[in-house]
Structure 1
Amino acid sequence: MRRLILTALLAGATPIAAADPIAKEQLLTPPAGARHFVISSEAGKHGDIWSWRTSDGKTAYRMSMSLRGWITETDEVITNGPDQRPTAIAIRGFTDSGDATENFSVAPDGTATWKTSVDSGSAPYAGRRYNTYGGPPLATEQDIAALVAAGAKGIDLLPGGHATLTLGDVTEIDGPQGKIPVRLAFIRGYGFSPSPLWLDRDNRLFGYAGVASMLPEGYEAAGPKLKAVQDKATAAMVRDVARTFLTPANRTPTLVDHVLLFDSVKGTYLPDRAVLIADGKVAAVGAGGSLRAPEGATTLDGRGKTLLPGLWDAHQHVGEDWSLLQNVATGMTNYRSPGSLIEEAQSIVKRRAAGDLLAPDGRVSVIVDRKDPLAAQMALTVSSAEEAIAAVRRIKAAGMWGVKFYTSMTPAWIAPAAAEAHRLGLHVHGHVPAGMRPLDAVRAGYDEVTHINFIMMQAMPQEVVDKANTAARLEGPARYGKDVDLDSAAMRAFYAELAKRGTVIDPTLTVWEPLMTSDGTAIPPEYAAFAKVAPPAVARGWRIAGYPLKDGLTREDYRKSFGKMVELVGRLHKAGVPIVAGTDGWGVELVRELELYQQAGLSNAQALQTATIVPAKLVGMGDRLGSVAAGKTADVILVDGDVSQDLGNLRHVRTVFLDGYRLDGDALRSASGMSGMPE
């Protein structure tokens, strides 16, 4: 649904892409008096959406948005039939994904036909509604109206799926007309989890709230209040789910016998082992058949399976409760969040400790960025070095683990702010600010550099480095990466200094692989194994046409540049630079991230260490997590198949032990919106 409502209202805001679109000047111009909605966050305004009726009775929409340098300019015209279902939809313009062109029409015989940048098709239209691939999110108001009218029976969708909407409680907010009532609702069928939205007093779409909100002009200030209300309602839903899993019956002792065990500390696989889990800990590890199961224990046959430490995603922006549940379902028992809202992070910790939230355990950093139109939407924004230092102190006082500096930071502010962070015991990492190269940031105090494209900035032309807080941070490496000599004397010296300093690299290769290599003909490797068990709208959204090609470059050029990014990870590892595995995505991309590390030259075991013992030690939790050893917390997963032969078997989670609770993989997947085991 509108690319899952603008990727959950800009939660991650990583571009996803497609060709040569219509120019901005050719798009529709909103007339005077058009309904006006604003896209905004606590960092400021990001864009506008207008809607109006055309002279021939159609409904038109126009969207204009700039998010940290990623530009969206689109319009949409909908023609409705007598039953108020669309008989024609035309979307034009461009997004950070490239060409947004999309067309839908219904023939006289009732056959619906559609074409987007990634798919096309036709099917009988009777009794169904077309779910657009893109377009301004305000246009979902017509779908919402239909779902309200449909009630509990919901609506069948094209190209596939079924959606329903449930009504929630009423809240009052302030605006230009004083206090008005708005009603919370949740829509199901477009994503893995129920998605919140807000209705007006007539049960028409009022807007969306989130990290960023889409609300009528004049009501922007209500966004945080609406988000707080919907977060509380979501917390109640996930609390009920958590209590079905976190029961005494699921915390009885468990013996896993005759299993292949991954020793993450030594980086080896041990055949035919027995592991006893009891009282939330790994109680004993021994040879297969050597351990006795205590009375009342559950015994699991480990033959044909692999037991290993629960996985870590070292780049998971936590904050959305249902995503945390899905992370557990995919074998993730721990995370490192390089950018969360303080209040959300504190809430997660509190509710998890109370047994009200089924979630991995982790450590959180908070983003600090200069107050600027290109600032990160989840950041604490600052206007001086003194304010940056104050933000660091606020992060420490809130009990967070680290500080993440962002691309619009003034370079001169990094060193004093990083020094204060280190004085307070905080980890320092982040994007590399525009005007700096990664080695500059490391010398100024970074303990870690996030994203492989910022490592590639060491070899980029100065004009790319100077604009790294815009789309140049992707477009530069995409254009020039293929020609970088990774074995030059300058690059070798770069790797050596990073290794000497112990600088950690968080590559997130799975962010860049679909952008740079996809052409729309297939679902990217990150998601392919999950396509059949995800809701149809989600699987369709994963199919992208790749980042727009520019300056005569070809898709093959971009693929070669991505290949250099993969090779760069290998060079870093070979030089002794620590690598931690992160996705900056849903979390389901984690296994693909490890597969790419193997392509880069890491061994199977070395790749798996980047998602187990390495991140555990990085965040100071290696004494109790990250390996399967007697006395350690039982954050452990059992997967079908031999992981030593194929890392892809990590997707086949059979059982998750979370703080010693024995959780069934099938039940976890069902609760998190998946219909079965990934391929």
Structure 2
Amino acid sequence: MRLHARVVNVLAAVLSVACAPAFAATTYVKAGRLLDVESGRVLTDQAIVIEDTRITAIGPAASTPVPAGATVHDLSTKTVLPGLMDAHVHLHGDADLQGYRRLAISLPAAAIKGAKNARTTLLAGFTTVRVPGSPGYADVALRDAIANGEVEGPRILAGGIAIGITGGHCSDNNLLPAEYKAVGEGVADGPWAVRQKVRQDVKFGADFIKTCSTGGVLSKGTEVGAPQYSLEELKALVDEAHALGRKVASHAHGATGIRNALLAGVDSIEHASFIDDDGIALAKKHGAVLVMDIYNTEYILGEGEKAGFLPESLEKERRVGATQRENFRKAHQAGAIMGFGTDGGVYPHGLNARQFSRMVQFGMTPLQAIRSATVVNARLFGIDKDVGVLKPGYSADLIAVDGDPLQDVAVLENVGFVMKQGRVYKNTAKE
């Protein structure tokens, strides 16, 4: 009885500790320069106070004392800004596994690659990404594993299984001959089949819906500008997704497919390579975001043959790249909403920030490019009350770089400090 009583007392003590409210960890960040992405102002000698995962105070360091017991990160020689966001990253694919090489990648192998690439992307300064479709809902599993602290990576918005037509880009498997009877996971033809696929994606945890309303560069047998899905089918898809509280991202290169997707009410157009004046006007009218991946053409054309890209894909990219960049300039000048999305995985993961220089080269100011990857994407993702800016009450997602990104946006390619939700994942000063 004495032993039993002692065990009970020990267990009770352990449980009382385990069940007691955890004390919030306090962090104090000294920022030599702090970029306010909303106003465009750079504030000097600032301090950021963080309790657990959230910012509680920001102000001049001289009047913001270090709380007792706080962990201090001295970034007084750095520029601090919000964690970056990429709206189009294929974490489960690698740049050198293109074309027929994709057939050798099993679902377990893709899942492992996803975990590796997620960490690489986070350490590059991208604390939130949107994954527009993955095999077997691997993106949903990775999102949850990161959220549960099982692996390191950015906050993920998962697209589940991308939805498209028989033989279409992003949905079907066109690499094998007919006798293999290979059919992609996301194939759906007709309005009711499309609605069923949306419901399936929501059932298995998708945060948004990805569809394809034109052919693509990297698929076999699709013409990059040719429409996929009728307007009726696209309207059914968007109606179902919106009814279930999910936004829709539509891969679309050609002008007709872009127009159909916008008329159907999609929330973002991915790529938008051949968008015309009518498409730009429609995007503005409907408030749709254009996510144009204008960096990766260098990798495709420079490394594509070695990486296994299909010859037809290289030919299509030669037609697409320059036109897409000029249309990026035209859409931006016309006042369309421009998000930041790179198609990561088409080029090596971790190089996402190289797109900033291309965005500036084709018409944006550095501040506009940075806003596309912070406040604009936060609104597109529907999480702008939580991330995208550095303010009290917001998640403590922040990065730091040497130099001034408003003068040289390329400094964002070398992020030295990464914090997500109050936890430091990279600090080159200490390393």
State the match for 1:660 in structure 2: 422
Whether 2:39 is the aligned partner of 1:266: answer: yes
- Cα distance in 1 between the residues matched to 2:26 and 2:311: 49
- What is the DSSP-based 3-state SS (H/G/I as helix, E as strand, rest coil) of the residue aligned with 1:572? helix
1:568 corresponding residue in structure 2: 327
SS of structure 2 residue aligned to 1:643: coil
Once residues 305 and 349 of structure 1 are traced to their aligned partners in structure 2, the CA distance between those partners, rounded to angstroms, is: 30
- The correspondence of residues 41-56 of structure 1 with structure 2, limited to 5 A, is none
CA deviations 1:149-175 (Å, max 9, x no partner) are xxxxxxxxxxxxxxxxxxxxxxxxxxx
User: Shift in Å at residue 664 of structure 1?
Assistant: 2.8
| 1:302 is aligned to 2:75 | yes
Query: Greater relative contact order: 1 or 2 (C-alpha under 8 angstroms, separation 6 or more)?
Result: 2
Whether 1:359 and 2:153 are equivalent positions in the alignment is yes
Residue equivalent to 1:171: none
Letter of the 2:369 counterpart: A
Which amino acid in the other structure matches residue 280 of structure 1?
A: T
Alpha-carbon separation, structure 2, partners of 1:373 and 1:546: 15
Q: How far off its partner does 1:321 sit?
A: 0.5
8 A contact 1:583–1:589 mirrored in 2: no
Provide closer, same or farther for how the CA distance between residues 380 and 545 of structure 1 changes in structure 2, counting only shifts above 3 A.
closer
Aligned to 2:298: 513
1:323 corresponding residue in structure 2 = 117
User: What CA distance in whole angstroms lies between the structure 2 residues aligned with 1:255 and 1:342?
Assistant: 41
- The 5 Å alignment of 1:391-470 reads 391-406=197-212, 407=214, 409-411=228-230, 412-432=232-252, 436-453=256-273, 456=274, 458=275
Cα pair 1:312 1:332 within 8 Å, conserved:
yes
1:638–1:653 contact (8 Å) kept in structure 2: yes
1:504 matched to 2:298: no
Residue number in structure 2 paired with 1:384: 190
In 2: Cα distance, 1:549 partner to 1:350 partner: 38
Alignment of 1:522-671 (within 5 A): 562-586=321-345, 587-666=349-428
1:339 and 2:137 are equivalent in the alignment: no
User: How far apart in 1 are the matches of 2:379 and 2:391?
Assistant: 15
Uncovered stretches (5+) of structure 1, i.e. residues with no partner: 1-247, 459-490, 525-539, 671-679
Looking at structure 1, the residues matched to 299 and 138 of structure 2 have their Cα atoms a distance apart, in angstroms, of 29
Which AA in structure 2 matches 1:653?
A: V
Superposition pairs of residues 209-288 of structure 1, within 5 angstroms: 252-288=25-61
Q: Secondary structure, in 3 states, of the residue corresponding to 1:356?
A: coil
1:368 aligned partner, one-letter code: I
Give 2:141's aligned amino acid. S
- Range moving further from structure 2, 282-291 or 339-348: 339-348
TM-aligned CA distance change 1:659 to 1:430, over 3 Å: same
Change (3 A) 1:637 1:433: closer
Contact 1:267 / 1:606 at 8 angstroms: preserved in 2?
A: no
Q: Measure the CA separation in 2 of the matches of 1:305 and 1:384.
A: 54
Q: How far does residue 433 in structure 1 lie from its aligned partner after superposition?
A: 8.6
- Contact persistence 1:318–1:337 (CA under 8 A): yes
Q: Structure 1 residues 376-385 or 499-508, which shifts more?
A: 376-385
Query: Aligned partner of 1:651: which letter?
Result: E
CA distance in 2, matches of 1:427, 1:652: 32
Q: One-letter code of the match for 1:410? A: Y
> 1: CA distance between counterparts of 2:278 and 2:90?
32
**Aligned in 2, Cα 1:543/1:395: closer, same or farther, shift over 3 Å?**
closer
Do 2:354 and 2:413's aligned partners in 1 also have CA atoms closer than 8 Å? no
The whole-number CA distance in structure 2 between the counterparts of 1:505 and 1:370 is 22
CA contact (8 A) 2:124 2:351 kept: no
How far the C-alpha of 1:608 sits from its partner, in A, is 0.3
Q: 1:636 and 1:543, CA in 2 relative to 1: closer, same or farther beyond 3 A?
A: farther
Amino acid at match of 2:324: M
Is the 1:253–1:277 contact (alpha carbons within 8 Å) kept by the matching residues of 2?
yes
1:64-83 Cα deviation digits (max 9, x unpaired)? xxxxxxxxxxxxxxxxxxxx
Equivalents in 2 of 1:435, 1:379: separation in Å? 27
CA deviation after TM superposition for structure 1 residue 399, in Å: 3.0
- CA offsets per residue over residues 592-625 of structure 1, 9 Å max, x none? 2111111121111110011111111111111011
Secondary structure of 1:606's counterpart equals: helix
What is aligned with 2:166? 371
Q: CA deviation at 1:427?
A: 1.1
Greater Cα shift, 301-310 or 615-624: 301-310
2:63 counterpart of 1:290: yes
Q: What is the rounded CA distance, in whole Å, between the counterparts of 1:259 and 1:588 in structure 2?
A: 26
Q: Note if contact 2:253-2:272 (Cα within 8 Å) is conserved in structure 1.
A: no
Q: Deviations 1:42-62 (Å, cap 9, x if unpaired)?
A: xxxxxxxxxxxxxxxxxxxxx
Distance in 2 between residues matched to 1:570 and 1:543, nearest whole Å: 27
Q: CA deviation at 1:505?
A: 0.7
Does structure 1 retain, via aligned residues, the 8 Å contact 2:83–2:125?
yes
CA distance in 2, matches of 1:610, 1:311: 9
- Partner secondary structure for residue 645 of structure 1: coil
Contact 2:125 2:418 in 1 (8 A): yes
8 Å Cα contact 2:91/2:344 also seen in 1: no
Note the C-alpha offset of 1:435: 9.5
Which structure's residues are more often helix, by fraction?
2
Q: CA deviation at 1:252?
A: 4.3
Write the distance in 2 (CA, Å) between the matches of 1:649 and 1:665: 16
State how many pairs are aligned.
Answer: 359
Distance 1:659 1:610 in 2: 21
Task: Rate the CA distance shift 1:295–1:541 in 2: closer, same or farther, 3 A.
Answer: farther
Scaled by the length of structure 1, the TM-score of the pair is 0.48
Q: Tell me the CA shift for residue 305 of structure 1.
A: 0.8
Give the Cα separation in 1 of the matches to 2:79 and 2:310: 33
Structure 1 residues 581 and 502: CA distance shift in structure 2, 3 A: same
Q: Which amino acid aligns with 2:157?
A: R
Change (3 A) 1:424 1:512: same
RMSD (Å) for aligned C-alpha atoms: 3.3
Equivalent residue runs for 1:93-112 within 5 Å: none
Distance 1:373 1:294 in 2: 57
Structure 1 residues 543 and 649, CA gap change in structure 2 (3 angstroms):
farther
Deviation at 1:441, TM superposition (A): 2.2
Cα distance change of structure 1 residues 337 and 637 upon mapping to structure 2, 3 Å threshold: same
- Taking the aligned partners of 1:643 and 1:279, their CA distance within structure 2 comes to 28
Give the CA deviation at 1:543: 13
Structure-2 change in CA distance of 1:563 and 1:350 (3 Å): closer
Considering fraction of residues, name the structure with more strand.
1
One-letter code of the match for 2:368? Q
Q: How far 1:300 sits from its partner (Å)?
A: 2.8
Distance in 1 (CA, whole Å) between partners of 2:191 and 2:157 is 25
Q: Do the aligned partners of residues 545 and 643 (structure 1) sit closer, same or farther apart at CA in structure 2, a change above 3 Å counting?
A: farther
Q: Say which one has the larger Rg.
A: 1
Deviation at residue 431 of structure 1 after TM alignment: 2.0
